[in-house]
Amino acid sequence: MIESPLVRHFRQIVLWPLQLMPVRPGNPVQRHWEVLDQLAGTSPWHEVADEFCEDPAEFQERHYKEFVTFLPYTQRFLYGTSAGQESSQRLSDPSIHVYRRRDIQGVRVTFERGEQPWQFKVAHVDLNFFHDADLVLLAVELHADDLPLNVAQDTLFRFGRAYPAFWDARGEGGNCPHLVEWLAADDTVLAQSDYGSRSRYLEFVGRHRTPCNSAHWDWLLQPLTLEVPGQRGPLQYRQLEYYRMPFMSYLALDDPMQLSRADWIRLGLVTRPGGRDDLPYSASTLHDFESEYCDDRFWDRTGERVSGDTRFIVTGQTLSMVGNHRDAFFSGAENGLLSQFRHQYFLLFLIAHFHKAALLSMSDELAVAMNRLTVGDTESVKNFKRTIRQMMETFLRFTHRYWFHEVSNQEIARNIFDRLRRHLGNEALHAEVRNEVIDMNSYLDSDSARRQANTVLRLTVVTIVGLIGTIATGVLGMNVFSEADRSSFGKLALFLVVLVATGTIAIATIVKSKRLADFLDALSDERVPWKSKFTTLRAASRASPRLSRQR
């Protein structure tokens, strides 16, 4: 039996997009991170000072290399700017606000009941907020050394799951670890999972029609709480995507050539560990795995300066790097791919998933607005119009501020970002949301045009009816009755009588304006016989059947 290769250095960065609920309803721009600032004394989350804004003498080459990876407009999005028209209120204030909790220093994972637990160090636990977007992306980075390959595969397969999809015969959460424990610096357990609490999950979904998270994820996100009826919190969120969180992985081995094709497929498509030559799916469905998901520009190279082989695997939901542990190009913590994995490539992954999450959030808001629309209810229609106008503004701001087709001209970064966008389907999703916004805006425009046309129609009918009286009295010089010698009281009384009569005629004309318009239309049509024209006039003089029934 061949032993499982050792992963000399293993890293996984789990990224979990969540939709945030408004903290100030009706305000088109929410600043959710300010809630954490207000809770600074009680919240475990603290804003990360932008290291690009610290002492320039401490600015490192790694920071510079990260910065120049991106195109100028992406740089302004990620890091802000202190010059030009885009300069922000604070020096170099970026569009991303990062908050970090430092109490979690490790995580212990037990995959199966009774088996040995595996402990990982936690490098970062961050919340990434975006200006003018009702989103937060949780990022958890964990790492370990000298892991068997099957343990690394199991970690990738099981760790980033918000809740179980099912339970097996033993009552264990399907495809989830038996136990996950967040650890403090002294290995004190801060919180632990409850994937096996089947009744809790069933009762929650039955009551609220939404899944709940495992206890350790709930604890980690506090003071953010899941939006459910009756539950209050300073910040509330909704789950936005599949319960299996997207992630990045980095695996440094002594010799990546030891991995079989089945191993590569398990790493790329994230399946449970298996035999060296046992494919997780049928061979026919995997024939194009390498061309579809793998970037092999640094794989199987020749030459004196080549020190190892490196492969990138990009599936959209995952971005993995596998290479030689002894290769400085791959394992360099400052200038190698390990450093780039944690910084440049993390930002590529973050932007691609932010795009998808933002578009899904907008699509969800449009669907909610449609569900709340009650045709015929004036107040509902007004609220719908207001919401759609705001959504159109939000979509336009997102498109012009955040929607990038390219973020870098560096070949590797550009290729990986293109693969991420393609596998996530961001282009199609953007087009779908754009069409939804345009369709709803067209409905609003057509509804406004219809209302304006009805108003013009009524005014036209009133004008035509009033024109008859105006011309008739005008021919007589407005002296039909000589009332100039009446007393002031008599003039006032006569004025009121004429005012009431004129107003009554005007109101009656407006009420009958649609039927009178039909009569005018029939009157102007030379093909309609006079009998039919007068029939239309008689119909205009009658009350509508609905009004008669109401009376």
438 residue type, one letter: I
What ranges in 425-487 are assigned the alpha helix state H? 426-475
Using a pLDDT cut of 70, give the percent of the chain over it.
80
Residue range 399-408, pLDDT digits in tens = 888 998 999 9
pLDDT tens, position by position, 206-264: 999 899 999 999 999 999 999 988 777 889 999 988 899 999 999 999 999 989 999 99
One DSSP character per residue, 341-361 reads: HHTHHHHHHHHHHHHHHHHHH
For 311-349, how does the pLDDT look when each residue is reduced to its tens digit (9 = 90+)?
A: 999 999 999 999 999 888 898 888 889 999 999 999 999
- Residue 480 predicted with pLDDT over 60: no
pLDDT tens, 486-538? 777 776 777 777 777 777 777 777 676 666 666 666 666 667 677 776 777 66
Residue keyed to tokens 């320039």: 56
Return the bridge partners of 106, or none: 121, 183
Asked which of 7-21, 60-74, 103-117, 422-436 is least confident by mean pLDDT, the reply is 60-74
Position 303 pLDDT exceeds 70: no
Which has more pLDDT, 467 or 423? 423
- Helix, strand, coil % in the chain, rounded to nearest 5: 45, 15, 35
Three-class DSSP category at 192: strand
| Residue bearing tokens 């190279």 | 301
Q: Classify strands 96-100 and 46-47 as parallel, antiparallel or unpaired.
A: antiparallel
Specify the length of the chain in residues: 551
Task: Report domain extents, the chain.
Answer: 255-324, 457-550
Whether residue 392 contacts residue 441, with contact meaning beta carbons closer than 8 Å, is answered with yes
Instruction: Sort strands 224-226 and 189-192 into parallel, antiparallel or unpaired.
Output: unpaired
For 295: left if phi > 0, alpha if psi spans -120 to 50, otherwise beta; the answer is: beta
The torsion defined by the Cα of 206, 211, 33 and 319, in degrees rounded to 10, comes to: -170
Q: What tokens does 104 get?
A: 């979690």
